[in-house]
Chain A
Amino acid sequence: MKRALVARKGWSQQIVFLGPCLLFFLTIVITPFILGFYYSSTDWNGLDLNKAVWTGSANWSRILHDDNFWHSLNFTLRFTVISVVIANILALVLAFLLMGALKTKNVLRTVFFMPNVIGGILLGYIWQFIFTKGFATIGDLTHISFFELPWLGTPNTGFWGLVIVFVWQTAGYMMIIYIASLAGIPKDLIEAAKIDGARPHQLFTSVYVPLIMPAITICLFLTISNAFKMFDLNLSLTKGGPGTSTQSLAYNIYSEALINNRYGLGTAKALLFFAAVSIITITQVLITKRKEVSA
């Protein structure tokens, strides 16, 4: 009798505490995700679901021959590798700079972090202005060819434009993580290495890097998944153009569904996208985790 009461109490507590979270999570995230497996094999046009006909593997074979899709995958991979490397190197440089005795370090940390609090969509618009008007004016005044390039007008410069903005946005965030990690390194360890005669580059590769490996794991994870999933910035800065030359995977899926009204095909692409994101980020975390040591 008493046990039954306790058990019932346990149930009501389980429902009160976990219920709301589960309700929203299952409705908003899990249900749509599972539905995706069904829709990806239909010709759903986004309007009437009852008319969505099961087409088996038609979407998948269509993706195989979809040049745009493969182009955007290629673009996204290139973009991810290049911007992740640059953003993390810059972030590490900034972290080392602002670790030391600089008088202005607190203000500077704030400045470098600032682009991060503004959404990607607005950052893209800001830079659309900088690239098309700001750079053009500076180019006219100084005749430095860097500023005279048609920044958003060619596939190549558009690519680098996106890299510049991504790095500008991300480096400050990663800098904060690296600073926190560097601050946790015991001073005597560095001293000991210096006394043993370690040169600066040895100090960096043999002492600092192994000790901040957990931060490297996190920063790589965050930058890789953000770069691979880039959408807002792409939409507001280049709109995938010129043509579809700077179209990221996320943007390709969006335009397939919402502009071409091919929701079924879009869902199939979205599933592939999910698979790619998972494989890449999990592999990275496994590799860098293995390199972590404890001080």
Chain B
Amino acid sequence: MNVSQYKTKTFVLEVFAILLALLFLAPFYLVLSNSVKTLKEILLDAASFPQIFHWSNYSSVWKMIDFPQAFWNSLQITLLSVLLIVLFSSMAAYQIVRRPTKFNSFVFLLLVSAMIIPFQSLMLQLVRVTSLLELRGELYGIVACYLGFGMPLSVFLFHGFIKTVPLELEEAARVDGSNPYGVFFRIVFPLLMPIMVTVVILNTLWIWNDYLLPVLIIGGNKDLTTLPLAVTKFFGQYTKKWDLALAGLVMAIVPILLFFLSLQRYIVEGVTAGSVKG
């Protein structure tokens, strides 16, 4: 009696949850299905399933935004930034934990407090600083910016994790004659794997999706246009070429969605670890 009651209740909840999920997915369906329609068909009926699949929307957009180039730009910027953030922030966090001098503790406090600063509060001056340093319009310039903005949270996450790494391991390596760099790169760095996954995922998601920083820093250099920047082309004030715009949207979304679906388990864990510690 009790068991069957429980089952019906669960079943009702399950149906409710699935309906809610379909509602959540509906926007994606509308974008996907309309991206293979002609403009006329979209304007007439945006809800119906496409009668004929017009893949030409995709091939036009592919050429119009030079998709391979934009994809490559986004990939390059994201990969370089994330790799260097992982390297530099883990080293910094290690030094701060293992040598807690007054200066190092102050640096940590500064990094953590900087997390509150909204991007808008420094973007105008950043444009100025990056111009002076000739970082604007350059690949290494935008990567340098991501390093600066990625550092606080990443150092914070590594810091919390390194505190739990037992010192004995390092002492043993020292006794065996390893120098400080050897200790870090051979012993400590591999141990940081779990939190590294989190740092990689959190930084990849925001850097890949970022819009305003690329506008300000590489806006003038068309050769460095990232995917999100490329797609905004279709959303000018007076153009309503939905057929092309939707195909462009799908093409911009697919790479990051594939990244998510293939690493889904780690991403969910990484996000949890990142926020609980944050």
Q: If A97-B16, A100-B13, A126-B249 touch, does A30 touch B125 (CB 8 Å cutoff)? A: no
Surface stretch bound by A, among B59-67, B116-124, B167-175, B190-198: B116-124
Most B CB atoms within 10 A — which of A28, A126, A176?
A28
Contacts of A239 in B (CB 8 A): 237
Question: Does B163 count as interface, using CB distance less than 8 angstroms?
Answer: no
Q: Which of A83-122 contact B (CB under 8 A)?
A: 94, 97-98, 100-105, 107-122
Contacts of A137 in B (CB 8 A): 45-47
Smallest Cβ-Cβ distance to A253: which chain B residue: B120
B272 touching A21, Cβ below 8 Å: no
Most B CB atoms within 10 A — which of A24, A33, A109, A133?
A24
Nearest Cβ on chain B to A267's Cβ, whole angstroms: 5
Question: Does A195 count as interface, using CB distance less than 8 angstroms?
Answer: no
In the bound complex, CA of A273 to CA of B27 (Å): 33
A17 touching B95, Cβ below 8 Å: yes
In the bound complex, CA of A110 to CA of B269 (Å): 12
A14 touching B209, Cβ below 8 Å: no
Question: Does A156 count as interface, using CB distance less than 8 angstroms?
Answer: no
B27 touching A125, Cβ below 8 Å: no
Smallest Cβ-Cβ distance to B206: which chain A residue: A119
In the bound complex, CA of A138 to CA of B245 (Å): 21
Question: Does B55 count as interface, using CB distance less than 8 angstroms?
Answer: no
Q: How large is the interface on A (under 10, 10 to 19, 20 to 34, 35 or more residues)?
A: 35 or more
Surface stretch bound by B, among A63-71, A200-208, A274-282, A286-294: A274-282
Q: How large is the interface on B (under 10, 10 to 19, 20 to 34, 35 or more residues)?
A: 35 or more
Question: Does B78 count as interface, using CB distance less than 8 angstroms?
Answer: no
A24 touching B211, Cβ below 8 Å: no
Q: If A13-B180, A129-B242 touch, does A168 touch B24 (CB 8 Å cutoff)? A: yes
Q: If A16-B181, A126-B31, A136-B46 touch, does A29 touch B149 (CB 8 Å cutoff)? A: yes
A129 touching B116, Cβ below 8 Å: no
Smallest Cβ-Cβ distance to B256: which chain A residue: A117
Q: If A127-B27, A133-B46 touch, does A121 touch B124 (CB 8 Å cutoff)? A: no
B104 touching A25, Cβ below 8 Å: no
Question: Does A232 count as interface, using CB distance less than 8 angstroms?
Answer: yes
Question: Does A31 count as interface, using CB distance less than 8 angstroms?
Answer: yes
B30, B88, B128, B228: the one contacting A134 at CB < 8 Å is: B30
Contacts of A173 in B (CB 8 A): 271, 275
**Chain B at the A interface: SS class:** helix
In the bound complex, CA of A124 to CA of B46 (Å): 18
Question: Does A243 count as interface, using CB distance less than 8 angstroms?
Answer: no
Question: Does B109 count as interface, using CB distance less than 8 angstroms?
Answer: no
A35 touching B128, Cβ below 8 Å: yes
A36 touching B125, Cβ below 8 Å: yes
Question: Does A271 count as interface, using CB distance less than 8 angstroms?
Answer: yes
Smallest Cβ-Cβ distance to A110: which chain B residue: B264
Interface flags for B191-214 (1: CB within 8 Å of A; 0: not) read 000000000000001001111100
Question: Does B145 count as interface, using CB distance less than 8 angstroms?
Answer: yes
Contacts of B20 in A (CB 8 A): 94, 97
Question: Does B34 count as interface, using CB distance less than 8 angstroms?
Answer: yes
In the bound complex, CA of A100 to CA of B11 (Å): 11
A32 touching B125, Cβ below 8 Å: yes
Question: Does A166 count as interface, using CB distance less than 8 angstroms?
Answer: no
Binding site for B on A (CB under 8 A): 9-10, 13-14, 16-18, 20-22, 24-25, 27-33, 35-36, 39, 46, 49, 94, 97-98, 100-105, 107-122, 125-130, 133-134, 136-138, 141, 168, 172-173, 176-177, 180-181, 214-215, 218-219, 222, 225, 229, 231-232, 235-236, 239, 249-250, 253-254, 257, 263, 266-267, 270-271, 273-274, 277-278, 281-282
